[in-house]
Chains A and B, each alone.
Chain A
C-alpha cells in the first residue's frame, strides 16, 4: 500500500513488514516527521515488530533522518522486535559508517537477505 503523504510503500512478506522509501531524498523535516510517525505507528501495531526498511530509492539523507531512524529502532527494541535496513546506496552507507550507525543498525545488502534474517 503506498502512502503518498509520507512517501512510503508498506507491504507484508513472511510475517515481516517491508517499508520502501519512495522519496529519493529524505531531507525535509516535515517529510522526516511524517515518515517517523508512520513507522512508529507500524511498530506500535505489532506485539513483536519485524520491520525491513528498503532504501533502494534513497540517494540523500540528512542527520535528522538518521535521528528518526534511531528513534524507530529504539521503539522496535523496546518491544523485542527486529529492524533491518537494506538496499542502502554506497554514498548513504558511508554516512552510516562515518557516524558509526552501521554498528547500531542491522544492515542487509538486499531485501531478500533482510527477510531471510528475520525468518
Chain B
C-alpha cells in the first residue's frame, strides 16, 4: 500500500532537521505505530538527517536536505537526500570492531541498519532510503 508521499526541504541546520522530524513523526503516531517502532524510526531519522547536514552538506548554507516520506499503517518509507559529493557507505569502518570501539564517531549508519528493516544508499552516496514495517 502506498500512501501520500510528503516532501520537506530544509536548510543544512540541525534545528531545521528537528522540524522535519516532527512532521514525519506526527504521521507515524497518527498511524498507530508501537513505541518500539517509533523509537527505531526516530533514531534512524535523527542519524540520517544529522549525516546529511554534517557530513553530506558540511553545514553549507547554500545546500539543502530533502526529506521524503510515505507513512501508512503498514510501513514507513523515508528518503533523505543531501547535495554533498556523496560517500561509500561500505568504506565506513565497522564501529563494533574491537579497534574502533572507543572511537567517538562512526555509529550512525550501523544504528540505522540495526533499527530499520532496509537501508539503501544510491551509487553516489548522497541519498539514503529507509524502510520500517509496523510490526
Q: Interface residues, chain A, CB within 8 Å of chain B?
A: 27-30, 60, 62-64, 66-68, 70-71, 74, 91, 95, 98-101, 103-104
B47 CB–A CB distance under 8 Å: yes
Establish whether residues B42 and A63, one from each chain, have CB atoms under 8 Å apart when the complex forms. no
Query: Which of A29, A30, A60, A63 is within 8 Å of B107, CB to CB?
Result: A63
B18: chain A residues at CB < 8 Å are 28
B74 CB–A CB distance under 8 Å: no
Question: How far, in whole Å, are A71 and B105 apart by their CA atoms in the complex?
Answer: 10
Distance of A37 from chain B, by nearest CB (Å): 14
Query: Which of B36, B101, B102, B105 is within 8 Å of A63, CB to CB?
Result: B105
A95: chain B residues at CB < 8 Å are 43, 111
B110: chain A residues at CB < 8 Å are 98-99
B contact residues, range: 20 to 34
A104: chain B residues at CB < 8 Å are 101-102
A71: chain B residues at CB < 8 Å are 104
Distance of B109 from chain A, by nearest CB (Å): 9
Distance of A87 from chain B, by nearest CB (Å): 17
A91: chain B residues at CB < 8 Å are 36, 39
Query: Which of A64, A68, A103 is within 8 Å of B50, CB to CB?
Result: A64
B106: chain A residues at CB < 8 Å are 63
Given contact pairs A66-B107, A95-B43, A99-B95, A30 touches B101 in the complex (Cβ within 8 A): no
A68: chain B residues at CB < 8 Å are 104
Query: Which of B36, B46, B101, B104 is within 8 Å of A62, CB to CB?
Result: B46
B50: chain A residues at CB < 8 Å are 29, 62-64
Establish whether residues A70 and B104, one from each chain, have CB atoms under 8 Å apart when the complex forms. yes
B89 CB–A CB distance under 8 Å: no
- Can you name the residue of chain B whose Cβ is closest to the Cβ of A89? B39
Establish whether residues A67 and B107, one from each chain, have CB atoms under 8 Å apart when the complex forms. yes
B108 CB–A CB distance under 8 Å: yes
**10 new A-B contacts at CB < 8 Å, known A66-B107, A70-B102:** A28-B18, A60-B39, A62-B43, A63-B105, A63-B108, A64-B105, A95-B43, A95-B111, A99-B107, A99-B111
Question: How far, in whole Å, are A103 and B96 apart by their CA atoms in the complex?
Answer: 11
Could you show 12 A-B contacts with beta carbons less than 8 Å apart?
A: A28-B14, A29-B14, A29-B50, A63-B107, A64-B105, A66-B107, A67-B104, A95-B111, A98-B114, A99-B110, A103-B101, A104-B101
